[in-house]
Structure 1
Amino acid sequence: MNPQSLASRAPEFAAWLDEHAEPIDTRQDLAAQILPQLGRAQLLRLGVPIDLGGLGGTTVDAIEAIANVAAHSLAAAFVFWGQRTFIEYLLHSPNEGLRTRWLPPLLSGELAGATGLSNAMKYLSSLEPLQMNATPLDNSGDIGQWTLNGSLPWITNLRREGFLAAAAFDHSDGAPPSIFALPYDAPGLTRSDDLDLIALRSSNTAALRLDAAVLDASWQITDDARGFLLRVRPAFLGLQCGMSIGLARRSLAAVDGASAASRAAVEEDAADLLNALAVLSQRLFDGVQRGTFLATPAALFEVRIALAALADAAVRLEVQTTGGRGYLRGQSGCARRTREAAFVPIVTPSIVQLKNQLAQHRQTQAA
């Protein structure tokens, strides 16, 4: 896929995003429509093996697809990221029954997949403890059961029409942490009202709480959370980087479409950003494709940090070339992209958290 391919691959979806990008960002009433639109456009199947209902290809194809959606709406791309990342979890899960049962409605966009593993990713990097706890019940039967408790304050794609949410749990009996898929209708599971975000308001972002919910092993994505997280982290962060790539591409395209005088004033800056974007994108694609980020996560952290900074710089350059027109409602998407760019650094793991991780990594290397 290339940066302009969403309109050619899914013209109706691209047109719908362009028409509704502003209300998707500022209101919550379109939240139910984004996922079905992604499903009808067949974008959720990219990078998924054909024998599992996908269109084939690799994770890089999914990253490009998220970038292409982000060029139209970062809120829609955020939903896409959550859904596609949860799909990635099932692709890596040893629980074949879970994958067989739930992958089809996830790929079609009928059911939402929410990646509640931001806390777990921070746990993996020793940034915070797990916030969820599992206590085994009498496991004398054929399949184990656990009582689950805890809360997660921020999860995207908790679609009210139905979702599965991934969450990692410490085990009270000393067993290694595991990851469960939490069904929206499980007794004891409560979804909060949507969080009062300043943007991306149709992303179905809310909090989850578990009070003595009981699930058995059929809902367990993995019984080895740490090993699993290490394997899926390149896809988790790589797919996330698609949002920065798409936002930067769209802002730089807007710069290119500005008046001749405006373009001339920032020509060198725009060329530098375009070149840096191409280099960073290729570095990301190569690392994900070849699997090198598995052994060198610091290199992936550096790419994520650099892409976030580049997206911010691209949007600021768009602000300069758009001028006063960007402050008039309905005249351009410049104001929306400014809000979107403000969100990129705080997506977990945040830029601050990644920079702290890199500093610790360098200290360890020096020692």
Structure 2
Amino acid sequence: MSTVLPEGLRDWLGAHAPALNDGSANDEALLPALASAGLFAIGVPESFGGAGGRTGDAVDAIAAVAEHSLAAAFVFWGHRAFIEYLLASPNAALRERRLPALLDGTQAGATGLSNAMKFLCGIESLQIEAVREGEGWRLDGKLPWVTNLRKSGFVCAAAVSSRDGEPPFIVALDHDRPGVRRSADLDLIAMRGSNTAALSIDDVRIDAADVIAGDARDWLPRVRPAFLALQCGMSIGLARAALSAAQARCSSARATLQDALDAVGDGLARQVVALHDGLAAGRFVADPVALFRLRIALADTVQRAVQLELQASGGRAYLVDPQFGFARRLQESAFVPVITPSVTQLEGELLKRAQQTARAA
């Protein structure tokens, strides 16, 4: 289960991966590069202008990009997650209006729903509030961490609570809507070419045409499997890259690592199969715990793979050599456990559910 990237894109990602990580790249060029390879259309029905296939195919595509650059895969994930929201939206007019520019990469899509996924698990409250105003709403709040807020323009999904007793709902916010303000890029230690920033929402007016889903509590559990599975593609690709590098550098002097390499590789393969099977069968909607466990397991696989690359590389891994790639992958691997929902948050949710089950027994 893998996607073969066009040679031109592989070369481009290989050449730009260090700069995408340290922020010295032209981050405006990334989205068109991914779009020109047709990646955003993967898993999108042909009737909506896509290439067909399933969400699992999009997971494979993100994994393929992550083998070359996690920053590029992070942007891909955020953009493709927004596309998934439109595919799951009952607002057909919004989908028809937005999808073409998202599929061809002329507009950036940002998920903005990390806060909402934590809200769904009871970890935190929604950070944007709506007040009814005629046929629409007035919004105020902030999203402290959103990826793919492209400086030349973006549309961002956000979850909104209602001060008027309505259910929380999901909206699409344009970069140029009055009251929407993007901060400077966050000062990340890596992945700096991902256009990650905070978003302030001050007295922003919207109406029904901007609503992706009218009831977040009903809609979020149905899109959460895609949100997390697409995110897992990042871990899969990074783990594969580290294992491949470790295998290539595993000289006869380090042959003792081979059993560990085989074990981690076999475990990764099983995790990928479980992810695809669960997505295809639709099991993760009713059983999110299984997906939480897979996300945690894949994060652990990434850490083990990167450590094996370090051991296989020896002292060379500690030299400054951007083309060698280890230092970048080490930085990238540090990001995997903290992507929302973080491994700690997921483990807390598993513990809470276990305690609830024990009390009910």
Q: Could you tell me the TM-score, scaled by structure 1's length?
A: 0.96
Alignment check: 8 A CA contact 1:255 1:263 kept: no
Within-5 A mapping of 1:97-246: 97-138=93-134, 144-246=135-237
Distance in 2 between the 1:327 and 1:54 partners?
A: 44
Cα offset, 1:255, TM superposition: 1.2
For the residues of structure 1 that align with 2:323 and 2:146, how far apart are their CA atoms?
32
Amino acid in the other structure paired with 1:257: A
1:320 aligned to 2:311?
A: yes
1:84 aligns with 2:80: yes
Give the 3-state SS of the residue equivalent to 2:2 in structure 1.
Answer: coil
Q: Which of 337, 344, 349 in structure 2 is aligned with 1:345?
A: 337
- Give the Cα separation in 2 of the matches to 1:149 and 1:331: 45
Q: Does the 8 A contact of 1:325 with 1:331 survive in 2?
A: no
Q: 1:29 & 1:145 partners in 2: Cα distance?
A: 40
RMSD value, Cα: 1.0
| Structure 2 counterpart of 1:292 | 283
Could you say what secondary structure the match of 1:55 adopts? coil
Residue aligning to 1:253:
244
How far residue 2 of structure 1 moved from its aligned partner, in angstroms, is: 2.1
Look up the match of 2:19.
Answer: 23
Alpha-carbon distance between aligned partners in 2 of 1:79 and 1:159, rounded to the nearest angstrom: 10
Aligned mates of 2:29, 2:81 — CA distance in 1: 19
Query: In structure 2, what is the equivalent of residue 141 of structure 1?
Result: none
For residues 249 and 103 of structure 2, what CA distance do their matches in structure 1 show?
Answer: 39
Q: How many Å apart are 1:189 and its aligned residue?
A: 0.6
What is the rounded CA distance, in whole Å, between the counterparts of 1:242 and 1:47 in structure 2? Answer: 14
Distance 1:296 1:195 in 2: 35
Runs of 5+ consecutive residues of structure 1 not aligned to the other structure: 139-143
Equivalent in the alignment of 1:330? 322
Distance in 1 of aligned mates of 2:340 and 2:98: 25
CA distance in 1, matches of 2:81, 2:355: 31
Using the alignment, how far apart are the partners of 2:344 and 2:140 within structure 1?
29
Identity of aligned residues (%): 52
Q: Distance in 1 between matches of 2:32 and 2:24?
A: 16
1:348 CA displacement: 0.2
Letter in 2 for 1:162: G
User: Aligned pair count?
Assistant: 358
CA distance 1:110–1:331, shift in 2 (3 Å): closer
1:359 pairs with 2:351: yes
Deviations 1:301-330 (A, max 9, x none): 000000000011000100111112222223
**Structure 1 moving runs of 4+ over 2 Å:** none
User: 1:69·1:77 contact (CA, 8 Å) conserved in 2?
Assistant: yes
Q: Separation in 2 of the partners of 1:14 and 1:295?
A: 37
Partner secondary structure for residue 203 of structure 1: coil
Counterpart of 2:33? 37
Distance (Å, rounded) in 2 between the aligned partners of 1:84 and 1:28: 24
Q: Distance in 1 between matches of 2:147 and 2:177?
A: 18
TM-score, with length taken from structure 2: 0.98
8 A contact 2:42–2:50 mirrored in 1: yes
Residue 62 in structure 1 maps to residue 58 in structure 2: yes
